[in-house]
Chain A
């Protein structure tokens, strides 16, 4: 399989080579974040290009990729096998089959080998953590589970629910979930799953919509699992390349992400359910749903931007319009998060921070020990690093959309470059509200 390496280099060169021609011919932007706009127009990221930022984001990508390797496997396991189990006590107990499930972007069987050195099965650090947990003792799985000494799968489910709840974020996935064809496919699977179970079949007859809605949720489990299956090897490869000295700048990291987005863009998004020996195609691959349109872009919108207020962090008065009336105006995602109260409340982002804490590379642990309260507030510090890293991922999404839908940065036509600018400005308008952290991440002392 070809390596995306050369193209990343090529694109980086193109992007950086355009700086002079782009900025000299258009008048300066008057946007509040004009500096960031100009950086994006020069092929850069919203995150300033400093060695410290690069070290932080790569370190956190690696720490994120290990639990993500669990998340995508378990999301698919729940969507495909646990399915409508009314008492899914063991849904987080990933069977060996799903630990071995070959990632389509790693290992020798890959459709496209993004992670060059990695295997297709579960990451060794993940396997070790699943066996010993934080307490570093091999105990039966049930004890690690009950002690909550495990991967916090609840975080992945919170992201899935954000996608389910917001819906309507582009793509055709959600429309299909409401179609007659989908209902018929779901009906076949429901009847097969509960075959010989008159109680559940009776409930299905009485409350069919409840069952369909549950299947829709499971389709989003599959959607998110297929999305993250791509991102885990992308992040592992970025970490390897940084360690090998191949990434020198933040734009290097961003451009690799852009490349990853294009490699996976056409990947099918589907939902298959395995009941006995039979596969039920609730959303067949033949529907043509694509990773970019039906998974990646809705994910970014739902999780990076919108989500919902987390319980226990702050009280909101909806009557006083402290919560937006329109879902599209929700702004509780990582790009807006105040990490400190979030980090003290034990809610989804904290669960992720806890997961990432277990897999931090040594250089990042040493770094956090030098600042703030050292190990005592490491969850907060790494949460803010995560925020920086997600501004970089969002920058990659902006640049990928610009490549796909607009014009090259060095386009000789000034009207085209103006279109690019209007696109970047429109995106950054979403960060004009006071909760946005774009301004904070411009300096290093935001920790």
Chain B
């Protein structure tokens, strides 16, 4: 079974995310056995960010890492596990509110595709880049 990075790289909808992860030097971290849960914003999600936001982050790697780590949680959380949960703690340290119903929402993002299994975790595709706060 492919790992989280391999799944993202093979999917055309994650080009921006893959670039960001590479720039941030987080490829290796996402290939670790984990397991991890990744809320993966697709390209349309990144396109919704106001201009300048990404430019600044790409110039400042620790800050970019912080934003990306907010999308990752230690442990494998599928929709079955998330049903009875309302908050996860991200690798960044800040909480991520989750509402696993219909629709399945993560903070202010909606999950477009849930429970994509990887060898080292699970991916949920989201339509908005989520931010701490």
Mark A residues whose CB is within 8 Å of B: 1-2, 4, 6-7, 11, 111-112, 170, 172, 258-259, 262-268, 285-290, 293, 297, 401, 403-407, 416
A7 near B50: Cβ-Cβ < 8 Å: yes
Q: Inside 8 A of A11's CB, which chain B residues have their CB? A: 50
In Å, the complex CA distance between A265 and B67 comes to 11
B132 near A293: Cβ-Cβ < 8 Å: yes
A376 CB to closest chain B CB (Å) equals 43
Q: Inside 8 A of B133's CB, which chain A residues have their CB? A: 170, 293, 297, 401, 404-405
B93 CB to closest chain A CB (Å) equals 8
A112 near B56: Cβ-Cβ < 8 Å: yes
Which range holds the interface residue count of chain B? 20 to 34
A266 near B63: Cβ-Cβ < 8 Å: yes
In Å, the complex CA distance between A293 and B83 comes to 31
In Å, the complex CA distance between A287 and B92 comes to 12
Given contacts A2-B51, A293-B133, A403-B50, 15 further A-B contacts (CB under 8 A): A4-B52, A7-B50, A111-B55, A111-B56, A259-B50, A262-B49, A263-B53, A265-B53, A268-B62, A268-B63, A288-B62, A288-B63, A293-B132, A297-B133, A404-B131
Q: Inside 8 A of B60's CB, which chain A residues have their CB? A: 266-268, 285
B50 near A262: Cβ-Cβ < 8 Å: yes
Q: Which of A172, A265, A407 contacts B108 (CB 8 A)?
A: A407
In Å, the complex CA distance between A2 and B125 comes to 29
In Å, the complex CA distance between A262 and B59 comes to 14
B55 near A2: Cβ-Cβ < 8 Å: yes
B63 near A262: Cβ-Cβ < 8 Å: no
B53 near A288: Cβ-Cβ < 8 Å: no
Task: Determine whether B64 belongs to the interface, using a CB cutoff of 8 Å to chain A.
Answer: yes
Given A287-B62, A404-B133, verify A267-B108 contact (CB < 8 Å): no
B 84-132 contacts with A by CB, 8 A: 93, 107-108, 131-132
A283 CB to closest chain B CB (Å) equals 12
Q: Which of A7, A288, A407 contacts B51 (CB 8 A)?
A: A7
Given A285-B62, A405-B133, verify A264-B56 contact (CB < 8 Å): yes
A288 near B65: Cβ-Cβ < 8 Å: yes
B48 CB to closest chain A CB (Å) equals 9
Can you name the residue of chain B whose Cβ is closest to the Cβ of A284? B62
A111 near B59: Cβ-Cβ < 8 Å: yes
Nearest 4 interchain pairs by C-beta: A263-B52, A288-B62, A262-B50, A266-B57
